[in-house]
Amino acid sequence: MAEFKRFYDTFKPDHYNIYLDIDRDKKTITGKTVIKGLAEQEQISIHQKALKVSSVQLIDEPLSFKTDDKNDAINVQLPKAGPVEITIEYTAPLTDTMMGIYPSYYEVDGVKKQIIGTQFETNAARQAFPCVDEPEAKAQFDLAIKFDEQPGETILSNMPELKHENGVHYFDTTVKMSTYLIAFAFGDLQGKTTTTKSGVKVGVFATKAHKANELDFALDIAKRSIEFYEDFYQTPYPLPHSWQLALPDFSAGAMENWGLVTYREAYLVLDPDNTALTTKQLVATVIAHELAHQWFGDLVTMKWWDDLWLNESFANMMEFVAIDAIEPEWRIWENFQTSDVQAALKRDATDGVQSVHVQVNHPAEIDSLFDAAIVYAKGARMLVMARALVGDDALRKGLKNYFAAHQYSNATGADLWNALGEASGMDVESIMNSWLEQPGYPVVTAKVENGELKLTQKQFFIGDGEDKGRQWHIPLNSNYQDVPAIFKDNELSLGNYAELKSKNGNQPFRLNVVNDSHFIVKYDDTLLNDILEHDDKLDNMSKMQILQDLKLLAEGKQVSYAKVIPFLRKFAGENSVVVNSIIYDLAYDLEDFVNPGSNEENNLRKFIGQLSAKQADRLGWEPNANDSKDDQVTRRLALGGMLYAKDNDAVNTAHKIFSQYKDNLISLPADIRTLVLSNEVKNFGSDELFEKLLASYRKTSDASYKNSLCSALTDAKSESVLAKLVSHFEDSETIKPQDLRGWYRYILDNDKGQQLAWDWIRNEWQWLEDTVGGDMEFATFITVTANVFHTSERFTEFKAFFEPKLNTPGLTREIKMDTKALASRVDLIESERDAVNAELSK
Ligand code: BES
Ligand code: ZN
């Protein structure tokens, strides 16, 4: 791969005057940018992408320039190096790419409308105005925007508006910041605002397709999150306002633009009276994530994209720290355990996975760095380990110093470790570097040999893996005293097991208590039996952890998959979110081992029914205002299990509930809405029902209801219905490109629809690339395909289709990883199928 030059080396801007004239009708942008800065040499480069530059001037002198589209550049020849003021005039198209400056489409009361918004991370600011588009090139910005304005329209940006003159909106000068965090938006918006204790104005904005009360939840969470961070970071929020804006078309989930955070509608606005608790929790963590970035990412920014983890891992940890502080009853760390931890452990076990810290140059590669399971989930877990090591006091003290030292500037991972090291007096860097710089994680084997309790560490793989002798500094978190805090060698002998056990109150020996360290444990039979003999004393997290580690060991072929099944029976009937989430994850994984319509599948249905019956009975279909979080989540899982088992009672009750609500389906209680709709489609589906649900999907602006409808419709059993759905994949008036991956995955996962979806993606790859190709989500179409497939036939087809695409920038890593993951799943299923089915028939 060619070396990409950093333009900041040639030119260091410190101030931009940006004027934009945007015409929605003609779909054009006309712009003039004045950049003041220091030219380090006579030949400088400034970023641009798809800009038609008409002139470049040094104050009033025309300069000779050349645009170089391959390198996203305007190369400018200056008379001499030194301080310069360069004026660039240009035009650009306004395109539907969800990148740069782009329109979002929506409807209110049948009238089609649009909002213009921006998305610049990682490298699309250069599509809006010429700039040195690198995180280190921090400068101040004066933004002036004109557009084909209609009465009543609102415009928002990072800073407050100073004046509105001759149709031009002038915004206050920004603080020193990176280009990727500039944002603005305009259109017919509604908003609600409030003020934090410290006087920061907080607002939530959305289109008028939403009811006003749908903004309330986000406003409350945003306000309290900012108050929390100001206290936790001991550093004031640096801007006058913090706007949150929901955009109808949005490629990522949300984006931390400084002072103007943008969101998918699904992650900001919600009906406060009928939204599942888990959805509210998700929205709250997304808001807290983006607001964590206002300091960590915006005030202090990574020097280069290789330290992207510094932004994302940290924000991903802080979203849980913040929400745990402001909504302690939600026990939000459980969500971290059931989602992020599981994703990280799975992905990070495939040989060839990236480390959290990765070198990167090419712009397309930068976007492919955002591997959620690694940069977000593993990175956050790594920081959770660091937090547990140093404690919250040192973390806060360290962060305060880190912000003070690097504010309005940039930092690297080493700077963070130094700050935490100084605050705690520990060598944080060398412990954390073993996690940051190396891919993968260890399995710690604990065994009793000749009476001695011994530990060893070795890299854990699912599928083939080359053992490179990697070692980690593992925080062991044992329940036994006298076990070292950190295990960094290959082997460790802890002494006589019987003596140790009696010294520790005869409890069974455990490692990684509370599951905060990034490793799994393989106990030998003596130790595992000890643990299980005391299973009445096991807390929920421990039960979850035992299942989690067994699941991974089974996937890695270190224990038989069939051996895991009795544990599901053993721990079923629990009332805990963490235990039940992993039980059902494991149970539905077994679907891959049975053929649709076979006897084996019937056994699996029966098995899942057995796991679910007691809880389904206890909780019933009627959500209750006093239900705990455990009950709400368990109800959905258990009733889902009963429907999967085709239990007559469950099927009929869901059908009855559907009939009660048939004229107002959106008001079906959100906790059971997807189940009821999907049951109806599966068991009582008709063309009329299908048309009705699809029409509701098109019409509703409630994202969580939309999700329920998508998930129900794609459960259809009729191939002609499924084909009709696939025919809407490229019809953005029905399925927005931002939502397409969900549709594709659901239909691929339906055995009646798999062929249709698979044919579609292979035939329409070019269309897909043209539509979402510039997008960080593009590669995940491959991931979901590999996650659904599990037969050798599909594996062959998968390779035949994707291997020729291995050299596509931004797809290489994903194709390699997914090919490996799929290969190991197919192999696992073939070798374990008989044993699993024998166990299921018991
Ligand atoms: N900075 C990211 C969004 C982003 C990533 C934009 C890569 C462009 C390229 C933002 O802070 C983020 O992490 N968003 C997440 C949602 C989040 C709550 C986990 C996302 O978009 O998935
Ligand atoms: Zn983020």
pLDDT, one tens digit per residue, over 126-159 is: 999 999 999 999 999 999 999 999 999 999 999 9
Q: Residues 107, 111, 116, 118: what is their CA dihedral angle, to the nearest 10 degrees? A: 10
435-451: average pLDDT: 97
CA of 294 to the centre of ligand 1 (A): 13
CA of 290 to the centre of ligand 2 (A): 6
CA of 622 to the centre of ligand 2 (A): 37
Query: If you ran DSSP here, which 8-state letter would residue 770 be given?
Result: H
The predicted pLDDT at position 544 comes to: 97
Question: Sheet holding 73-77: strands in order across?
Answer: 43-47, 73-77, 64-68
Pocket residue to mutate for ligand 1, from 121, 127, 365, most atoms within 8 A of Cβ: 121
Contacts of residue 358, defined as CB under 8 A and 6 or more positions apart, other chains included, come to 306, 369
More confident residue, 146 or 482: 146
Ligand with minimal distance to 122 CA:
1
Residue 116 CA to residue 102 CA, distance in Å, equals: 6
> Which residue puts its alpha carbon closest to atom 8 of ligand 1?
121
Strand-pair category, 474-475 with 452-459:
unpaired
Closest to 512 measured CA to CA, from 569, 471, 455: 455
- The CATH number of the domain covering residues in 1-93+129-149+160-179: 2.60.40.1730
Tokens of 178: 């990176």
- Burial 416-454, CB ≥16 within 10 A → b, else e: bbbbbbebbebebeebbbbbbebbbbbbbbbbbeeeebb
Write the pLDDT tens digit of every residue in 289-312.
999 999 999 999 999 999 999 999
The helix (H) or strand (E) run that includes residue 326 is helix 308-326
CA distance to 21, 119, 141, 147, per residue, from 92 (Å) = 10, 16, 20, 14
Pocket residue to mutate for ligand 1, from 290, 305, 366, 777, most atoms within 8 A of Cβ: 290
Report residue 513's pLDDT band, with 50, 70 and 90 as the boundaries: very high
By CB atoms closer than 10 A (0-12, 13-18, 19+), residue 192 is: middle
With beta carbons less than 8 A apart as the criterion, state whether 118 and 182 touch.
Answer: yes
Please identify which of the residues 134, 227, 265, 290 carries the catalytic annotation. Answer: 290
- Out of 356-360, 459-463, 717-721, which region has the weakest mean confidence (pLDDT)? 356-360
Tokens of 381: 């877990």
Ligand with minimal distance to 780 CA:
1
* pTM confidence score: 0.98
Q: If you classify domain 442-553 with CATH, what class do you get?
A: mainly beta
Atom number of ligand 1 nearest to Cα 286: 18
22-35: average pLDDT: 98
With beta carbons less than 8 A apart as the criterion, state whether 398 and 419 touch.
Answer: yes
Give the start-to-end residue ranges of the domains of the chain: 1-93+129-149+160-179, 188-295, 308-436, 442-553
Residue 517 CA to residue 514 CA, distance in Å, equals: 8
Pocket residue to mutate for ligand 1, from 118, 255, 256, 307, most atoms within 8 A of Cβ: 255
Q: H helices within 425-539, ranges in order?
A: 428-436, 497-503, 525-533
The predicted pLDDT at position 802 comes to: 98
CA of 757 to the centre of ligand 1 (A): 27
Percent helix, strand, coil in the chain, to 5, is: 50, 20, 30
CATH fold for domain 188-295: Neutral Protease; domain 2 (1.10.390)
Atom number of ligand 1 nearest to Cα 256: 11
Residue 567 CA to residue 442 CA, distance in Å, equals: 23
Query: If you ran DSSP here, which 8-state letter would residue 378 be given?
Result: I
Tokens of 238: 């640096």
The predicted pLDDT at position 1 comes to: 41
End-to-end CA distance of the chain: 55
Residue 647 CA to residue 635 CA, distance in Å, equals: 15
Across all residues in the chain, what is the average pLDDT?
Answer: 96
Tokens of 267: 């992650």
Write the pLDDT tens digit of every residue in 347-405.
999 999 999 999 887 776 787 777 899 999 999 999 999 999 999 999 999 999 999 99
Pocket residue to mutate for ligand 1, from 370, 738, 777, most atoms within 8 A of Cβ: 370
The predicted pLDDT at position 625 comes to: 84
More confident residue, 359 or 346: 346
The helix (H) or strand (E) run that includes residue 601 is helix 599-619
Residue 705 CA to residue 59 CA, distance in Å, equals: 55
Ligand with minimal distance to 314 CA:
2
Tokens of 756: 């249709």
With beta carbons less than 8 A apart as the criterion, state whether 660 and 678 touch.
Answer: no
CA of 113 to the centre of ligand 1 (A): 26
Query: If you ran DSSP here, which 8-state letter would residue 715 be given?
Result: T
The dihedral through the CA atoms of 674, 667, 203, 225 has a sign that is negative
Pocket residue to mutate for ligand 1, from 312, 365, 369, 376, most atoms within 8 A of Cβ: 312
Strand-pair category, 28-39 with 11-23:
antiparallel
> Which residue puts its alpha carbon closest to atom 1 of ligand 1?
255
Atom number of ligand 1 nearest to Cα 253: 21
Whether residue 777 is predicted with pLDDT greater than 90 in this model: the reply is: no
180-195: average pLDDT: 98
Whether residue 2 is predicted with pLDDT greater than 70 in this model: the reply is: no
Closest to 517 measured CA to CA, from 444, 409, 605, 468: 444
CA of 284 to the centre of ligand 2 (A): 14
> Which residue puts its alpha carbon closest to atom 16 of ligand 1?
253
Amino acid in the structure at residue 42: E
**How many residues does this entry show for the chain?**
842
CA of 315 to the centre of ligand 2 (A): 6
Report residue 626's pLDDT band, with 50, 70 and 90 as the boundaries: confident
Nearest 5°: phi and psi at 239?
-120, 165
Atom number of ligand 1 nearest to Cα 372: 22
CA distance to 500, 513, 523, per residue, from 509 (Å) = 9, 10, 9
The predicted pLDDT at position 568 comes to: 96
> Which residue puts its alpha carbon closest to atom 22 of ligand 1?
253
Tokens of 769: 């690339």
> Which residue puts its alpha carbon closest to atom 21 of ligand 1?
253
Ligand 2 is a single-atom ion; what residues have CB below 5 A from it? Answer: 312, 315
Closest to 561 measured CA to CA, from 787, 338, 840, 841: 840
Collapsed DSSP state (helix, strand, coil) of residue 131: strand
The answer to whether the peptide bond before residue 122 is cis (omega within 30 degrees of 0) is: yes
CA distance to 452, 513, 610, 620, 638, per residue, from 568 (Å) = 31, 21, 10, 22, 14
CA of 115 to the centre of ligand 1 (A): 21
> Which residue puts its alpha carbon closest to atom 3 of ligand 1?
255
485-499: average pLDDT: 96
CA of 557 to the centre of ligand 1 (A): 34
Q: What is the number of H-type helices and E-type strands within the chain?
A: 27, 28
Query: If you ran DSSP here, which 8-state letter would residue 552 be given?
Result: H
Q: Does the fold of domain 188-295 match that of domain 1-93+129-149+160-179?
A: no
Residues contacting ligand 1 via CB (< 6 Å)? 121-122, 252-256, 286, 289-290, 293, 312, 315, 370, 376, 776
Residue 242 CA to residue 287 CA, distance in Å, equals: 11
Atom number of ligand 1 nearest to Cα 285: 18
Residue 712 CA to residue 126 CA, distance in Å, equals: 41
> Which residue puts its alpha carbon closest to atom 18 of ligand 1?
286
Nearest 5°: phi and psi at 670?
-55, -30
Ligand with minimal distance to 336 CA:
1
CA of 291 to the centre of ligand 1 (A): 12
The helix (H) or strand (E) run that includes residue 141 is strand 140-147
Residue 137 CA to residue 126 CA, distance in Å, equals: 13
Atom number of ligand 1 nearest to Cα 316: 19
Atom number of ligand 1 nearest to Cα 319: 18
Question: Sheet holding 184-187: strands in order across?
Answer: 100-108, 111-119, 184-187, 154-157
> Which residue puts its alpha carbon closest to atom 19 of ligand 1?
286
Ligand with minimal distance to 257 CA:
1
Cβ atoms within 10 Å of 237's Cβ, excluding its own: 22
DSSP bridge partners of 194: 202
CA of 297 to the centre of ligand 2 (A): 8
Write the pLDDT tens digit of every residue in 651-684.
999 999 999 999 999 999 999 999 999 999 999 9
> What architecture is domain 308-436?
Orthogonal Bundle (1.10)
Collapsed DSSP state (helix, strand, coil) of residue 50: coil
Tokens of 752: 């009646």
Instruction: Characterise 696 by phi-psi region: left (phi > 0), alpha (psi -120 to 50), beta (else).
Output: alpha
265 part of the active site: no
Ligand with minimal distance to 254 CA:
1
Atom number of ligand 1 nearest to Cα 252: 21
Write the pLDDT tens digit of every residue in 75-102.
999 999 999 999 999 999 999 999 999 9
Whether residue 175 is predicted with pLDDT greater than 90 in this model: the reply is: yes
The predicted pLDDT at position 3 comes to: 61
Scan for tokens 């429907």, then name that residue.
Answer: 643
**E strand intervals along 460-541:** 474-475, 486-487, 491-496, 520-523
* Radius of gyration of the chain from its Cα atoms, rounded to whole angstroms: 28
Collapsed DSSP state (helix, strand, coil) of residue 333: helix
The helix (H) or strand (E) run that includes residue 741 is helix 740-748
253-280: average pLDDT: 98
